Structure 1
Amino acid sequence: MKRNLKLGLLLLGAAFSGSALAQDLTGTWQSIDDKTGSPKAVIEIRKEDNGTYTGKIVKITPRPGYTPQKTCNDCPAPYKNQPILGMEILKGLKYVDGTGNYEKGRVIDPLAGKVYNAKVKLNATGKRLTLRAYMGVSTLGRNQTWLRID
């Protein structure tokens, strides 16, 4: 009986720690281009005092044959002509209790100058997230994969 109780508590602890890890969006992430599969930028996500999550570009990943754009030329205010490095591109994500999902965020594509609605799904291990950027209806959007690097 004691053995079964210990085993049950051990499994419960493992399940709890796994779900706690899956809920933790904070950290450093490598964004992957959904068209080419190449690394694009390193994003640092932090939790704000109001419980939402914000992501900032901390490194632009060099790619062969590509000269990185330095400023957000075609972006709306307050992003217009701001440096891309250091830009907060992800804002307002809120965790949905009981899931690995975050919703009601906004993401800017500094290369296209467009702002999209955003939601994020974190995989069970907490090492990969799928960012869904869309306008209006989520089904009319695109996915981008980010890999945890910390």
Structure 2
Amino acid sequence: MKALFAAVVLAAGATSALAQMSPVGLWRSVDDKTGESKAEIRISEPGGALQGRIEKTLRKDAKPDAVCEECTDDRKGKPMAGLEIIRGGKKAEGKDVWEGGKILDPENGKEYRASLTPIDGGKKLEVRGYLGPFWRTQTWNRVQ
């Protein structure tokens, strides 16, 4: 009986660890230039493709009724809280990286090709936005 219990506990722990090596969850974005926490983003995977929405902004000067003024698509004028900033992206075959999607920078309204890679055992998420041959990377922290 003890062996069965131990096996169940170990299996549950392994499943939990595997689930953490995914971008799905709640993340705190950190400005790569200032180190300031910017927002909490909830990433989900409905239908097998990533979707990420701002749950709340964390900047000291953030207005609670702020909207995406710089957006140029269907998100223009939408509230920052609930704004979809990640669209698409699927797990690359044989790798712990999700790619093929887009990420929006609501501060400038630009959308970039994106790749998301869980690192540090899934505690951090490397978020890379590409524009042509250039890229910028931020490291987000998982919110417990």
Q: TM-score normalised to the size of structure 2?
A: 0.83
Letter in 1 for 2:54: I
Structure 2: give runs of 5+ residues left out of the alignment.
1-6
Partner of 1:131: 127
Structure 1: give runs of 5+ residues left out of the alignment.
1-8
Letter in 1 for 2:123: K
| Pairwise CA distance, 1:123 | 0.9
C-alpha offsets along residues 66-119 of structure 1, whole Å, 9 cap, x if unaligned?
344811112111111111111010010111132211101101111111111100
CA distance 1:18–1:97, shift in 2 (3 Å) = farther
The reply to whether residue 146 of structure 1 matches residue 140 of structure 2 is: yes
The CA RMSD measured in Å over matched residues stands at 2.4
Partner of 1:37: 35
C-alpha offsets along residues 32-86 of structure 1, whole Å, 9 cap, x if unaligned?
001100100000011112x1111000010032xx344811112111111111111
What is the 5 A alignment of 1:30-69?
Answer: 30-49=28-47, 51-63=48-60, 66-68=61-63
C-alpha contact (below 8 Å) 2:88/2:102 kept by paired residues? yes
Task: Give the 3-state SS of the residue equivalent to 1:79 in structure 2.
Answer: coil
CA distance in 2, matches of 1:105, 1:111: 19
Letter in 1 for 2:74: P
C-alpha contact (below 8 Å) 2:23/2:116 kept by paired residues? no
Q: TM-score normalised to the size of structure 1?
A: 0.80
Task: Give the 3-state SS of the residue equivalent to 2:121 in structure 1.
Answer: coil
What is the 5 A alignment of 1:74-85?
Answer: 74-85=70-81
Identity among equivalent pairs (%): 35
